[in-house]
Amino acid sequence: MEFDELRSTYKTFVYKDYKIIDDKDKIVLKYYFEIPGLTTFEPSVEILKKNFKIENLNTKFTENLVFNLGMIEAISYFKATCSPEFVIECGNLDEKQEEWFRKIFYLGLGEFRFINKIKVSEEEFVKFVSKKEKEPINPISRELDGIIIPIGGGKDSNVTLDLLKDYKDKSYAFRIGVREVPLKSAEIAGFKRDEIIEVQRTIDKNLLGLNSKGFLNGHTPFSAMVAFLTYLVAFLTGKKYVALSNEDSANESNVVGEKINHQYSKSLEFENDFRWYADNYLKAGVEYFSMLRPISELQIAMLFSKLEKYHPVFNSCNVGSKSEPWKWCCNCPKCLFVYTILSPFLYKEKLVKIFGEDLFEREDLLKTFVELCGYGETKPFECVGTYNEIRYAVTKTIENVNGKLPFLLKYYNENFEKVNSNLLEYYNENNNLPEEFEKILKGKILK
């Protein structure tokens, strides 16, 4: 369906309410959204209790955190019609908050807008209307300690687990969904099952019904939801830090000359924006940052290549990680990217053992390979590295190969330019790492 037609037909999206349900074995966050004249949605987020000490659950402070999380949760449902007016019946945004959320709606849906050929300015994209009076939120003063470490099961979060291993005893690993891969990574890092905060997020079936009927659909800023959710969990469990695993490479656009970034909510820009928002409107004293922000995907691959205990279990393929047992599908841009970025350090036998085949011999992956290297129309809309570091990885692997080059490396060698600058000593001082954690990372990278 067309963007303009949907906006003129369904002029309003309503954030009606939210509930915090303290169940016996879980905390349930229930949200209520509506597109008048079309349908309603009731998604939920469930936080398993286990043996965690939960504090301040039934307070106005927690309600504010849950309300704000709902603003991000709503994006998945708002995008079906992109209604020009977003009515908030259960809370209130001031002018600066409206500006903040309009930015994350607009840039967080950048890929969605690009794929759906939506041409609209940020100012015109959505207008927020609050129906409830604003309640002041006073900061809570208390002692916080330890870290929430979100894990997705890929190489990045495994590197963070290793970097923060000396803090394990006062930290919790955190995962969303039912995939087994993150659990295996956390267990290898030494976390017992009761030291892993598990969250299950339920998508309302009415949204899936709209998708099947051709309503607007596409990528949403998942990591923004992770930011608000981990902040809430850190507050409830008394942890001081949320340590993400987003890297410097996440800042690069997928479309040259445009601000269209699949990884926008993993970027430094979003990280800085969220930290500002948390300081001014969440006020829980929790500090959100990325442990890997100063370094690149290439450097993360170098560090991960040495962590052999994680090699049999890590997986970041969106297709293969959902299968039982999990595997690398070996057909998608993410698989080829991870294979390529690890190749200077693990090619050939170790990589083939992990993936099950040599992806550099796959002629059918040539188009994807060319796009990853920066010679296609766009960079694949996946969480992949920059053009320059991918070219560097390919250059180094070509230099390391003794004998005949596999198909993709041979193609690159004959058609594209080599990258010889040393990218392994890169370090971006523009980051939010607390001093004690930055010292750990610098000790690994700057020797």
Mean pLDDT of the chain: 93
Question: How many domains, the chain?
Answer: 2
Assess whether pLDDT exceeds 70 at residue 324.
Answer: no
CB 57 within 8 A of CB 232: no
In a domain, 438, yes or no: no
Biggest distance spanned by C-alpha atoms of the chain? 72
213 and 114: one domain? yes
Higher pLDDT, 363 or 319: 363
The partner residues of 184 in beta bridges, in order of sequence, read none
Same domain, 130 and 195: yes
What band does 11 get if pLDDT is binned at 50, 70 and 90? very high
Q: What pLDDT is recorded for position 413?
A: 96
The answer to whether residue 305 is domain-embedded is no
- The lowest-confidence range among 3-7, 36-40, 132-136, 383-387 is 132-136
pLDDT band at 259 (very low <50, low <70, confident <90, very high): confident
Q: Is the separation of the CB atoms in 242 and 148 below 8 Å? A: yes
For the stretch 64-108, pLDDT in tens is 999 999 999 999 999 999 999 999 999 999 999 999 999 999 999
With vertex at residue 370, the alpha carbon angle to CA 369 and CA 375, rounded to the nearest 5 degrees, is 150
Cα 355 from chain centroid (whole Å) = 23
Closest-CA residue to 287 (of 83, 147, 404, 100) = 147
Structure tokens at 96: 């600066």
Same domain as 193, residue 253: yes
Residues 200 and 265 in one domain: yes
Same domain, 182 and 330: no
Number of neighbours of residue 166 by Cβ within 10 angstroms: 8
Give CA angle at 208 (204, 211), nearest 5°.
140
Question: Does the residue 432 lie in any domain?
Answer: no
Residue 43 C-alpha from the chain's centroid: 20
pLDDT bucket at 321, cuts 50 / 70 / 90: low
At 401, is the secondary structure helix, strand, or coil? coil
Which of residues 290, 324, 344 is at a domain's end?
Answer: 290
Spatial distance between the Cα atoms of 194 and 340, rounded to a whole number of angstroms: 36
State whether 353 and 397 are in the same domain: yes
Residue of 246 and 259 predicted with greater confidence: 246
User: In angstroms, rounded to a whole number, what is the distance separating the alpha carbons of residues 390 and 384?
Assistant: 9
Q: What is the pLDDT at residue 171?
A: 95
- Domain for residue 366, yes or no? yes
Strands 196-202 and 12-22: unpaired
Which residues span the domain enclosing 374?
A: 315-425
Q: Is residue 443 part of a domain?
A: no
Same domain as 286, residue 194: yes
State the pTM of this model: 0.95
- Which of 68-72, 183-187, 376-380 is modeled with the greatest confidence? 68-72
**327 shares a domain with 231:** no
**Res. 56: pLDDT tops 90:** no
Rama region for 403: left / alpha / beta (φ>0; ψ in -120 to 50; rest): left
Q: For the CA atoms of 57, 105, 7, 29, what is the dihedral angle to 10 degrees?
A: -20
User: Distance between CA 289 and CA 364 in Å, rounded?
Assistant: 39
Taking the CA atoms of 241, 275, 152 and 33 in sequence, report the sign of the dihedral they define: positive
Min mean pLDDT across 61-65, 77-81, 137-141, 335-339 is at: 137-141
**Amino acid letter, 213:** K
**Can you give the pLDDT at residue 232?**
96
Q: Do the Cβ atoms of 35 and 53 come closer than 8 Å?
A: no
> Does 321 lie in the same domain as 214?
no
pLDDT for position 123: 97
Higher per-residue confidence, 284 vs 138: 284
What average pLDDT does the segment 389-401 reach?
96
In this structure, the answer to whether residues 225 and 368 fall within a common structural domain is no
Instruction: Tell me how far apart the alpha carbons of residues 290 and 398 are, in angstroms, rounded to a whole number.
Output: 32
Report whether pLDDT(419) > 70.
Answer: yes
Taking the C-alpha atoms of residue 12 and residue 3, their distance in angstroms, rounded to an integer, is: 14
CA 51/CA 191 separation, integer angstroms: 14
Instruction: Please indicate, yes or no, if residue 439 is contained in any of the structural domains.
Output: no
Q: Classify residue 434: in a domain, yes or no.
A: no
Q: Model confidence over 208-234: pLDDT tens digits?
A: 999 999 999 999 999 999 999 999 999
| 55 pLDDT tier (thresholds 50, 70, 90) | confident
Say yes or no: 277 and 325 in one domain: no
Q: Is residue 30 part of a domain?
A: yes
171 lies in the same domain as 36: yes
pLDDT of 323 higher than 70: no
Token pair for residue 145? 């300690």
Q: In whole angstroms, what is the distance from residue 361 CA to residue 407 CA? A: 5
